[in-house]
Structure 1
Amino acid sequence: MWSHPIFASKGLSKDILAGLVVFLVAVPTSLGIAESLNVPLVAGIVAGLVGGILIGALSGSSTSVSGPSPGLIGILIVQLAVLPSFEAMLLSVVIAGLLQIGFGLARFGYLSAFIPTGVVKGLIAALGVILILKQIPHIFGHDTNPEGEMSFWQPDRETTFSELLELTGDYHVGATFVGILSVAVMIFWQTRRPKWLGFLPAGIFVVLFGAALQVLFKQFGAPWDIGRDHLLQVPTWGTPEGLGALVTSPDFTFLNDRRVYFAGVIIAIVASLETMLNLQAVDQIDKERRRSPVNRELIVQGIGNTTSGLLGGLPITSLVVHSSVNIQNNSRTKRAAIFHGLFFFVFVVLFPNVLNLIPLSALAAILLVTGIELASPQLFRRMWDEGRTQFIPFIVTLLAIVFTDLLIGSLIGLVISIAFILHSNMRSPLRRIVEKHLNNDVLHIELANQVSFLNRGVLDKALTEIPDGSHVMLDATSTQYIDPDILTLIKEFRDYVAPRHNIKLSLKGFGGDHQLEDNIQYVDYSSRELQTEITPQQVLNILRQGNERFRTGKRLPRDLHAQIHGSSIGQFPLAAVLSCIDSRTPVELVFDLGLGDVFSVRLAGNVVGPKSLGSLEYSTAVAGAKLILVVGHTSCGAVNAAVKFAYANPTCEEVTGCENIAAIVNRIRMSIPREDWEANLSKGPEEQRAFADKVSRENVIRVLHDIVEQSGTIGRLVDQRKIALVGAMYDVASAEIEFFMDDAIGFEPIRKGV
């Protein structure tokens, strides 16, 4: 047990000091919430003790600090008005805690993963803005509103902004001096901390300094004397027994009152949502980006709320503000949260008079600087840079929280984010590609990995827009989940809509759990019928479109198993492609083709000789291919070798040790004039690379003419308008192919008949 990190000495002093600073800002918050609810102040103290010691010890989060939540004030005011008594509300808190334990055991924490980043960041920034606005009056000694109150509409019937206007007639000189000086010290401490006080957090120094000034100002009298109204006011209990006597217990006689259970459900749901939201925010603030186990935290929060209710305390949640103070003061482990609870017991229970020396303006300075950290300009800039889909939910959440409260504002932010998600789903849950096939085009609709009921609208729209007499394929090959509502829509389209509009529907990938049978009503590989009826121009268009898909990352999903089976009875390729052996230029990939679509002849430098000519003759005269395509490429190793050794000594075979490479180099050298080669020797690297690519292009064009001149079979097929030849260059950097139509052979006569 003693080997657990919580008992390690490393970082212990930092955790103690961070816990002390958190405690100092938590005390007025706990008392202020109880005061806002008009319930016994001890209820806030009990919640602070339980949130620190019990939840801190059981929590799996390294940074989260728990306590009574300002976000629950509105909910609790309503419940106190509805329920018979405060004791009945305590019973609701116990019930809420038990429900939270159930939420955690049921693993409801997974819902936190669906909270959009824009909402979380908006919450962080909103809390920062609220802290700044709420603490400014306290900095100037205007302390009419209790600490910890975070709503726009305040208990004194002022708003967050109207309260600022009250400063013109209500401020305190001594408190203002302490407040402004404390803010200056906090900022100075972040940039130029004194070395001899480097171990001490700025918050502790500010509190000690503020207390000392308060004692000093008593000697000066008005207007410097900081009276009791501007100091922390912790009740003096006398003894721990005196505190215990003030504790209120839940009244179990109300167990038969339905209102108690309803209130418990409301508190459990709101407290759980707030905890999940706050944990996401705290993990974002954490410099080490540690992740909190949400389900465990729900269970721990449930245990805490059950205990707090039994002991007469307020409901508890994770708190972003206190957690942020904890992180900013360099806490290392969850011990800081535990120490903050222990300090509650030591000072609030045993030595409350010590705390009553602290000016509220000094504590306000700590929270104001924390607010500046939370709502930093860098956060706004980052969210702006991430685009409107992130920035709009972020800014809406921020404004909604500032002008309402934490719960309502966060819900508004979630609604806006959901609207953006729905809009996104309406735009891009499908990928639509028009495939070229024999008798007509096939509209290929590829479904996303997850197709929920939110996608029904866009799929319905896509199916409705299909013209009469078309062919459409719904492809669920990459889809793991399809909502039953979507399956019903597809079945209705298949059984009723498609037949009525003469639409052929093919289904692919719908086997297994999707409850639909695959039904392919077209052949997605080259067939005898397609090869017979297609023209060279149409083949070229298919190759162009295939390269465009490859280049833009929109390759067609292909059923290779079906292609293997279908092409096993015979092959009917559309084209014969003569290309280089370079590993970066596989023909089937760069043209997005399937099995059986093309013959592929590959030789270094895409040169032509008797054997390659024989392959091309068989491809066209016997097997029926309609197009011969010669493809060169940039940065070709064979061409580079030919350029380097074209007219040089020693020869390429002597340097490389390749005995048969001369046949390739000599053929490419035919595209390199000697005078151009000699001029290229004196040029820079970039110009030499451009020269080699130019040679590759000339080599492709020369090979085209060599094929027709050296093969009477192919020449005769060209004259009979049965085939055509074209050259192309593949750019290995961009994956784009340029077709040399000005040097194409056999296309002009065919175009007239197309």
Structure 2
Amino acid sequence: MNVSSLKNTLKSDLSSGLVVFLVALPLCLGVALASGAPLLSGIITGVVGGIVVGCLSGSQLAVSGPAAGLTTIVAAAIITLHSYEAFLLSVILAGGIQIVLGLVKAGKIGLYFPSNVIKGMLAAIGIILILKQIPHAFGYDADAEGDMAFLQADNNNTFSEINNLLSKLNFGAILIFAISMTVLMLWDTRMFKKVKSFPAGLVVVILGVLASIGLNSLPESLHLRTNSFVKIPVLSSVGDFATILKFPDFSQVSNPAVWTIALTIAFVASLETLLSIEAVDKLDPQKRSTPLNRELLAQGIGNTVSGLLGGIPLTAVIVRGATNVNAGAKTKVSAIFHGVLLLVTVLLIPGILNMIPLACLAAILIMVGYKLAKVKLFTEMYKSGWNQFTPFIVTVVAIILTDLLKGVLVGMAVSIIFILVNATKDLIYSTESTSENGKVQRLVLSEQVTFLNKAHLNEFFSKIKPHTSVWIDATQTKYIEQDCLEILQDFKARAAGEHIACTITGLKDHYSFLEAKGELIAHDHDHSKQQPYQALFANNRKWIAEKLHLDINYFTKLNAGQSPQYLIVGCSDSRAPLELITGAQPGEIFSQRNIANQVIPSDPNLMSVLQYAVEALKVKHIIICGHYGCGGVRAALAGGTSGNLDQWLSHVRDVYRTHKDELELIQDPEMQHRRLVELNVKEQIYQLRSTSIVQKALQNGQVLNIYGWVYDLADGMLHDLQVQDIELNNIVKPVLA
């Protein structure tokens, strides 16, 4: 990162790091407490996660620290080994295993989790944050911050704890929570415009501390309880910190239980990290992608250092990462700064930190939870169809009722079921057409025909009656599993005995024993003459299959309406397909094509397209796109045309006459042609800007950007002629009333 970019992001990163520190501080302590480990071990892990992993990680926004998902494993491991020092050795070994996983590039496992499950995980974490912070918001602090489990050790659960708080309300905590929530909700409004660059989280904490001090002078019913504050062990000196550190017992390296626990920690911590990283990447406004193998290496080194210093296992943590994103972090400086703050403040000002009420921290975490689990996310997933919504909502419920890993695995299982079910429906489909011999049942096979399609194949063939015709179209098929080949062979044998006209086309050489020997099915006359024509339909079916495979609701969404941002007027040349060369998807470009990409105000076709695009679709960008090697431009200069075509191309000849002096100075005919193509595009932009439709839109304040492009057939490159604001500023004319 260069110095200038660092300066641009430093303010946001330091502010975000401060907010993450305020949230991470009680969570580090809470996770350590829930794990049965020394309280300072949680702080050590937070410091290592922030500074060590922060420096080594490839993620710009993820924040590592002690993870709530490992509390049960850690607590059981400490009991099993009868020694915290032996457990620390397991943490070091787990870090070594993670380093090996990173070196063998095992990080790609994280890429196999579907987005609906990841979104469900984010929403579930958001809901859990809200549910877990409600008791703290009302002054009931029976459970430590960082305890994210649904079932509690005292036989309560998340919902029963909320019910319990009704009888133990603390009005002082409620008041602090109300003030904190009000500040957080109003901070981004115009009311706080002049000071909103100051971290809202810090303002909330300061107000919370001042309010708690002020409440002590009021009736006792408003006093906060002693367990309603952050609880950090207070050290009399920095030297005390070194004396209470615990270190690993390397003599236990031959203990099988130590290795078993190390493998468990390595697997669970790696999986939770990969899930968290993918989730944070989805939240990243810049949509950066984290190198997952590097992340495993960073986590492995982090766990090794944590174990050496007496800390508990660490992972990338969604709560910290989401808080970091919501606080406006730009780079990893935020995570590193939060680690530095943990180290310095715990050593130097623990007494001040212990004055922070949990109620104000609850407000910060509830806002984070709300942003993760917005109602909009649920409605968007519902509109995506049941194939997406069901795994999503199952993941949400499963994580809330169990834990993160179990919930994700349940969501994955449901997602896989939907994938398998859809595989049998979408990759093979049948249609009915008509030939000279009557009705023809047509079965179109996909690229990959596997055991998942056996049921569909059997169902299709079972419905074929004697004395009928069947066409099995394998034009796009690259692989057929043996089970499916046998079904095709059996049907061909049956067809011969039942006078079924069976034709199989398109199979590869190694499946040639199934190819039909007679005439291929045709809609009229000789099918061999129709193969190029039929290929268009085959390609269409292949395209449909590909789209439905990626999104079962693709055509439902497409049919719902169009809202393109672009109108492109291009040439009719078959070598310059606008959507293909720009990589646009259906629904993104509204287009009109004609010979030599002309804008002629007397052309009702073009003017109708322009009016609809500007007035109805409200496109924001209009592009005139010509291309080098344009046959229309060449024909205009060469002559020899007649009728409508000659009249149409006369406009190109007008462009030549206008710029004749410039063009005749160019000796190379090809370069002269290329320059005329460019001048023709610029002239069409002038004509476009001069139309009453565009003039009226611009005068009404409508956003309408106009560009000139040229496409080069020789290398496929698009070139922007940069004419939008240079040559066209003075052609806006008043619209006649």
- Do the structures match in fold with TM over 0.5? yes
Distance 2:240 2:450 in 1: 59
Per-residue deviation, residues 615-666 of structure 1 (Å, max 9, x unmatched): xxxxxxxxxxxxxxxxxxxx999xxxxxxxxxxxxxxxxxx9976789xxxx
Q: After superposing the two structures, state which structure 1 stretch, 348-357 or 452-461, moved more.
A: 452-461
C-alpha spacing 1:462/1:174, structure 2 compared with 1 (3 Å):
same
Residue 378 (structure 1) shift: 1.4
Partner residue of 1:487?
481
Match of 2:203 among 199, 202, 205: 205
Look up the match of 1:163: 161
2: CA distance between counterparts of 1:476 and 1:6? Answer: 58
Asked whether 1:371 is paired with 2:369, we answer: yes
- % identical equivalent positions: 37
Aligned length: 551
Q: Determine the C-alpha separation between the residues in 1 that align with 2:373 and 2:482.
A: 48
Shift of 1:408: 1.5
For the residue of structure 2 that corresponds to 1:277, the secondary structure is helix
CA distance in 2, matches of 1:251, 1:433: 70
| Structure 2 counterpart of 1:300 | 298
1:423 to 421, 440, 444: 421
Give the counterpart letter for 2:250 in structure 1. F
Contact kept? 2:248, 2:307, Cα under 8 Å:
yes
Contact 1:33 1:70 in 2 (8 A): yes
Q: 1:116 aligns with which of 114, 117, 123?
A: 114
Deviation, structure 1 residue 381: 1.6
For the residues of structure 2 that align with 1:14 and 1:659, how far apart are their CA atoms? 67
Counterpart in 1 of 2:29? Answer: 31
Q: Check whether the contact 1:36–1:155 (CA below 8 A) recurs between aligned residues.
A: no
- Is contact 1:508-1:519 (8 Å) kept? no
Secondary structure in structure 2 of the residue aligned to 1:10: helix
Q: What CA distance in whole angstroms lies between the structure 1 residues aligned with 2:411 and 2:328?
A: 31
- Structure 1 residue 518: deviation in Å? 6.6
Q: Are 1:98 and 2:92 matched, yes or no? A: no
Alignment-derived partner of residue 283 in structure 1: 281
> Which residue matches 1:254?
252
Residue 402 of structure 2 aligns with which residue? Answer: 404
Equivalence for 2:264: 266
Does 1:70 pair with 2:68? yes
Matched, 1:499 2:493: yes
1:26·1:48 contact (CA, 8 Å) conserved in 2?
yes
Report the Cα offset of residue 457 of structure 1: 4.5
Please tell me whether the aligned partners of residues 391 and 414 of structure 2 are also in contact (alpha carbons under 8 angstroms): yes
Confirm whether residue 521 of structure 1 aligns to residue 525 of structure 2.
no
**Kept after mapping to 1: 8 A contact 2:13/2:333:** yes
Task: Report the AA paired with residue 233 of structure 1.
Answer: K
Q: Distance in 2 between matches of 1:492 and 1:7?
A: 63
**Other structure's SS at 1:171 match:** coil
> 1:29, 1:147 within 8 Å by CA — same for their partners in 2?
yes
Q: Look up the SS of the partner of 1:130 in the other structure.
A: helix
For residue 49 of structure 1, the aligned residue among 47, 50, 54 is: 47
TM-score w.r.t. the length of structure 1 is 0.66
Q: Which structure: larger Rg?
A: 1
Q: Which amino acid aligns with 2:420?
A: L
Whole-angstrom distance in 2 between the partners of 1:179 and 1:201: 17
Contact in 1 for aligned 2:29/2:42 (Cα 8 Å): yes
- Alignment check: 8 A CA contact 1:549 1:555 kept: no
Q: Tell me: CA distance 1:404–1:194, structure 2 relative to 1, closer, same or farther (3 Å).
A: same
Q: Cα–Cα, structure 1 residues 82 and 10, in superposed 2: closer, same or farther, change >3 Å?
A: same
Q: Please state whether the residue corresponding to 1:197 is helix, strand or coil.
A: coil
Give the SS at the match of 1:67.
Answer: strand
For residue 648 of structure 2, what is the aligned residue in structure 1?
Answer: none
Q: Could you tell me how far apart the structure 2 residues matched to 1:497 and 1:526 are? A: 18
**How big is the alpha-carbon RMSD for the aligned residues of Structure 1 and Structure 2?**
3.7
State the AA in 2 paired with 1:271. Answer: A
Structure 2 counterpart of 1:490, which letter? C
Change (3 A) 1:141 1:526: closer
Structure 2 Cα separation of the partners of residues 312 and 413 of structure 1 = 35
CA distance 1:278–1:456, shift in 2 (3 Å) = farther
Asked if the contact 2:503–2:521 (Cα under 8 Å) also holds between the matched residues in 1, the reply is no
The Cα shift of 1:383 comes to: 1.3
Q: Give the deviation of 1:277 after TM superposition.
A: 1.7
Cα deviation code 1:672-727 (max 9, x no counterpart):
xxxxxxxxxxxxxxxxxxxxxxxxxxxxxxxxxxxxxxxxxxxxxxxxxxxxxxxx
How far is the alpha carbon of 1:6 from its aligned partner? 10
Counterparts of 1:345 and 1:161 in 2: how far apart (Å)? 35
Q: Which residue of 1 aligns with 2:135?
A: 137
Q: Distance in 2 between matches of 1:216 and 1:636?
A: 75
In 1: Cα distance, 2:265 partner to 2:212 partner: 40
SS at match of 2:217: coil
* 2:326 is the counterpart of 1:331: no
SS across alignment from 1:152: coil
Cα-to-partner distance string for 1:390-437 (whole Å, 9 max, x where unaligned): 222222111111122212222111111111111111211113345666
Q: Tell me the TM-score normalised to structure 2 length.
A: 0.67
The alpha-carbon distance between structure 1 residues 523 and 223, as it changes in their structure 2 partners (threshold 3 A), is same
Within 1, Cα distance between the matches of 2:164 and 2:521? 82
Tell me how far 1:145 sits from its aligned partner.
0.3
What is the distance in 2 between the residues matched to 1:5 and 1:123? 37
Q: Tell me the alpha carbon deviations over residues 186-219 of structure 1, each in whole angstroms, 9 at most, x when there is no partner.
A: 1111324524422211101001111122223333
In structure 2, C-alpha distance between the alignment counterparts of 1:373 and 1:155, rounded to whole Å: 30
Q: Distance in 1 between matches of 2:13 and 2:137?
A: 27
Structure 2 portions without partners, runs of 5+? 545-571, 575-603, 607-638, 646-737
Partner residue, 1:224: 222
Is the contact made by 1:6 and 1:335 (CA closer than 8 Å) also made in structure 2? no
Within a 5 Å distance, the mapping from 1:591-606 to structure 2 comes to none
Cα offset for 1:451? 4.8
